[in-house]
Every structure is written in structure tokens, then in C-alpha cells.
Amino acid sequence: MRVAPGSPPPVLAAGALAWRESAEGLEVLLVHRPRYDDWSVPKGKLDKGETFPAAAVREVAEETGYRVRLHRPLPASVYLLPDGRTKIVQYWSATVRAQVAPGPADAGEIDQVRWTSLEEAEHLVARQSDKVTLGSLRRYLEADELATVPIIVQRHGAALSRSKWRKGEGSRPLNSKGRKQAKALPALLDAFDPATVVSSPWQRCLSTVEPLARIEGLKVRTKYELTEAGHAERPSRAAAVMDRVLREARPTVVCTHRPVLPTVIEAVRAVSQQGASLELPRTDPYLAAGEAIMLHTTRQGTVVAVERHLPNIG
């Protein structure tokens, strides 16, 4: 959304609608706000320097005591506040990773947390934006597209220019901006709970994903096919690596280089629904240095939603 020139900056917020399967059917997680005496989807404002996904996970944890992993995005809510500012709230569907607290961090803000059926939730919530969020979740459930797996295509962080590095492309390192991006990346990608990291073995890719792998306790699997040289030799092998990742449908980060991205993205496009395919980049450079594209994929390997994020380096 564009804000008119001269307007005050928008208020940014994020939240997530967590769901689970029970013996009675699908249940969703709502919170009660005593100040408004209403039930709503957990959400809250971004902290300074925070990304939308990281804020969504943090806010759900603070309001419910549950740490969640994000899945496919739900429609954003955009509205005017009484003071004339625009508020933008980004939402995701989510599942629980762990319970990290017995309940809300601030009982004055949230005094009840409830797992409830989708039907009851639709009656409990009063805000139209929450009704839209629940309605979207229901549509995905009915289409058998609710349970998705995030597959993340990551372009390595900003690197030292080729003209300043004479020791070969395989060892060309990140520059200071790229190192900041790599350091900030775990806070962004952890929201999607990756389980595997696949990377080009060239240094600028490894340096981009190693901080994430270290924090998450993951081993980086290297693939020569994802290097610029390997791709130039046999582009089909880079496509085959991406095909395999999509078929396996595990939460995976794939880190590669700008010249490889057209082949990787075309492999994704081949298994994407039409709406998701239209969201995929089509022109060079495809992704900015350090940018990630999240592919929300069904267990059958079909991409049903796409979003893009950059790590926030201030």
C-alpha cells in the first residue's frame, strides 16, 4: 500500500492465526482483550528494526504463551486510526512449535486465551478484519491448502565487487552490508522454522546462511549445481536440485546466486498455482542481494502462495 506524500508514517503491526487439529475438528487460537471486551486474532506493533514475520511470532508468544511457526500469509488489514494515521497489519496462518509461557505476558492487555472451533470463532470475533482472516483460513481449509510448507529461495547477501577481488569467484566474500544481512537473517527466517539448508558452496552463499544454520542447529548441505559455474555448465542440474527440494516438501532454505535465479524460479513456476506464479519475479535481478522469497507449498509440492522479505539491517 502507498501512503500519500506528506502523510504521517503508517503504524505497522503483525499477527498470526494459529490452528490445530483436534478430535472435534479444526480449532483456532483467539485472545480476549479486556480493554475492548472483545475476542480477536493475536497481533501487535512492530518493534524498531523488526520484520513483519518476526513481529508476528513475538506478538503471538507474548499474548498467548505459544511460540508459533508461520505458514501461508493471510490477507493484510489496512485501516485509518482515529488520529488519521494508516495502520497496516500483516497476518499469517500458523501452527504451534512450543508453549513458552503459561499464558499472556500482560493480563491487563490479554486476560483470556482460547482454542475454539472455527465456527465459534466466527461468532466470537467482532472486528471485520478478524472475520476476513477467519474466512480466508476457512477457504484454504476447504481447498485442502491450509497445511503448507515454507521453501525459501535466498539470494546471498551483498558481496565485495568482482573488480576488487582477484582470488576467484568461489572465495569472493560478503561486504559489510552483506555481513549485516547475514547476521539479521536468522531473526527473519526463524519465523518459518526451516529444517534444512541447501547452499552453493561458494563463500558468499555460505557466509549468508551459516549464522542461520548455527542458531537453528542445522547442517548446510552444499550443491555445486547452485554455483554460477555449475549453473553455466549444466542449468538443468540446478533445476533438478530445486525440483527435488519441491518434491520433498520440507521446510528448506536454498541459497544461490543471481545468475542461477532464473532457472530456479522457472522450476518453481512449473509447480505453482496461477495466482502464485504471477507473484514470482520475472526480470533481472529477480531478487535483491540478501532478499528471500518464501514459497508456501502443499505436501504434494504445489506452490500456493508467495511472499518476499529482506532482513532488516536498520
Range of the domain at 69: 11-142
Q: Count Cβ atoms within 10 A of the Cβ of residue 209 and give its class: 0-12 exposed, 13-18 middle, 19 or more buried.
A: buried
Q: Are residues 27 and 138 in the same domain?
A: yes
Residues 6+ positions from 19 with CB-CB distance below 8 Å: 26, 27, 28, 29, 93, 94, 95, 137, 146
Specify the 3-state DSSP secondary structure of 123.
helix
Are 164 and 295 in a shared domain? yes
pLDDT one-digit tens code per residue, 40-61:
999 999 999 999 999 999 999 9
Residue 107, in any domain of the structure: yes
d(CA 300, CA 247) in angstroms, rounded, equals 7
Cell (9 digits) for 11: 503504524
Query: 25 and 128: one domain?
Result: yes
Q: Are 167 and 104 found together in one domain?
A: no
What's the CATH number where 87 sits? 3.90.79.10
**Statement: residue 7 has pLDDT above 80:** no
Q: Is residue 1 part of a domain?
A: no
pLDDT at position 104 over 50: yes
- Residue 174 lies inside a defined structural domain of this protein: yes
Q: Helix or strand or coil: residue 109? A: coil
Asked if the structure places residue 3 within a domain, the reply is no
pLDDT above 80: residue 101: yes
Overall number of domains in the chain: 2
Q: Which residue has the cell 508461520?
A: 70
Query: Considering the domain boundaries, does residue 214 fall inside one?
Result: yes
133 and 70, same structural domain? yes
Q: Are residues 41 and 164 in the same domain?
A: no
First to last CA, the chain: 21
- Whether 5 maps to a domain, the answer reads no
- Which range is least confidently modeled, 130-134, 164-168, 184-188? 164-168
131 within 8 A of 122, measured Cβ to Cβ: yes
In this structure, the answer to whether residues 54 and 179 fall within a common structural domain is no
